[in-house]
Chain A
C-alpha cells in the first residue's frame, strides 16, 4: 500500500525528470530489450535498433502514461482503466507480473543512473511499490 510519504517521494522524484520523459522512457525500453531479449517478442513491428524513432516514441508514451498515473495515485484503478483494457484484451502481454517486472527494473535502473545517490532506499522502495501497483491494475482484467 502506498503511504502518504511514498506518494510524496514518487511525485518529488518524478518532478526531477523535468521534461526528460522521452529520454528516460527510451533508455528504460532499450535497457529492457537488451537485458531481457524475450520482451522484444512484443515488438516485431518495431525498428529495435538503438535510438530508433519508434523506441523513443514508445518510451515517451509509456512514461507519459506513468506520469498520468502519478497524478492520480489515489485512484490508480480508474486512471489506468483504459490501459488495463488494452493490455488485457488487445496486447495480451504475458501477465504483467513478469514483463512489467522487467520494465520496472529497467525504469528504476534508468532513474538510478540519472539520480545517483538521490535514488535513496526510501525512493527506491516507493517506486518499486508504485510499479507493482501499476502492474496489478494492468493485470486486473486478464481473466
Chain B
C-alpha cells in the first residue's frame, strides 16, 4: 500500500483546498485534448473540438473535466484506500470506455502543469514531487482492474 507522510498529506491538502475543481478540471481536460489530440478519440460525441479555442469553450469538455476532477477529489479523501475507491471506475474504463491506461498518466502530468500555472511559485519542487506521486498512484489504481 502506498504510504503518505504527514508532509505529503499537507502538501496535497494545501493545494487542493485552493483549487477550483470546475476550473482546473475543465482546463486539464481541455489541455489533454489540445496537447495530445489523439485523445479526442474518446470524445467523438462532444461536438466542436476543431481548435484550441473551440475545445476550451466546449461546454461538454468543461462539464466532463469537472466530473473527472471531482472524482480525483474522492481519491484525495481516501488516500489510504485508492484501490477500493477506484475499483469500479477502473472496471468502467476498461470494459465500457476502453481507455488505454497510458492516458491516465498523460492527464496526470497535465493536471500537474495546470496546477503549476495557477499556483506559480507556491508550486514548489516538494509540492510537485508529491503531486506527481499522487497522479501516478491514481493512474495506477485506475489501471488496476484492467483485464
Q: Which residues on A are within 8 Å of B, measured CB to CB?
A: 27, 30-31, 34-36, 105-106, 108-109, 112-117, 119, 121-122, 124-125, 128
Q: Mark B107-118, 1 if CB is under 8 A from A, else 0.
A: 001001100111
B119 at the interface (CB under 8 A from A): yes
Q: What distance in Å separates the Cβ of B104 from its nearest Cβ neighbour in chain A? A: 15
Residues on B with C-beta less than 8 A from A122 are 34, 52
Given A31-B129, A125-B52, decide whether A112 and B30 contact each other with a Cβ distance below 8 A: no
Q: What distance in Å separates the Cβ of A50 from its nearest Cβ neighbour in chain B? A: 8
Residue contact B119 to A124, C-beta cutoff 8 Å: no
Residue contact A113 to B120, C-beta cutoff 8 Å: yes
Residue contact B116 to A112, C-beta cutoff 8 Å: yes
Given A109-B123, A116-B120, decide whether A124 and B129 contact each other with a Cβ distance below 8 A: no
Residue contact A121 to B132, C-beta cutoff 8 Å: no
Residues on A with C-beta less than 8 A from B132 are 35-36, 105
Q: What distance in Å separates the Cβ of B101 from its nearest Cβ neighbour in chain A? A: 16
Within residues 82 to 141 of chain B, which ones have a CB less than 8 A from any CB in chain A? 109, 112-113, 116-121, 123, 125-126, 128-129, 132-133
In Å, the complex CA distance between A109 and B121 comes to 10
24 residue pairs A–B, Cβ–Cβ below 8 Å? A27-B125, A30-B125, A31-B129, A34-B126, A34-B129, A35-B128, A35-B133, A105-B112, A108-B113, A109-B123, A113-B116, A113-B117, A113-B119, A113-B120, A116-B117, A116-B118, A121-B27, A121-B30, A121-B34, A121-B52, A122-B52, A125-B34, A125-B52, A128-B35
Residue among B31, B55, B128 facing the most chain A CB atoms (10 A cut-off)? B128
Residue on A nearest B109 in the bound complex, by CB:
A105
B142 at the interface (CB under 8 A from A): no
Q: What distance in Å separates the Cβ of B48 from its nearest Cβ neighbour in chain A? A: 15
Q: How many B residues touch A, CB cutoff 8 Å?
A: 24
Q: Is the interface of B mostly helix, strand, loop or mixed?
A: helix
Residue contact B35 to A121, C-beta cutoff 8 Å: yes
B75 at the interface (CB under 8 A from A): no
Partner of B113, one of A27, A36, A112, A117: A112
Partner of A119, one of B55, B113, B119: B113
In Å, the complex CA distance between A30 and B112 comes to 16
B56 at the interface (CB under 8 A from A): yes
Q: What distance in Å separates the Cβ of B121 from its nearest Cβ neighbour in chain A? A: 6
User: What 7 new A-B contacts, CB under 8 Å, besides A31-B129, A108-B116, A121-B55?
Assistant: A34-B128, A35-B132, A106-B128, A112-B113, A119-B117, A121-B35, A124-B31
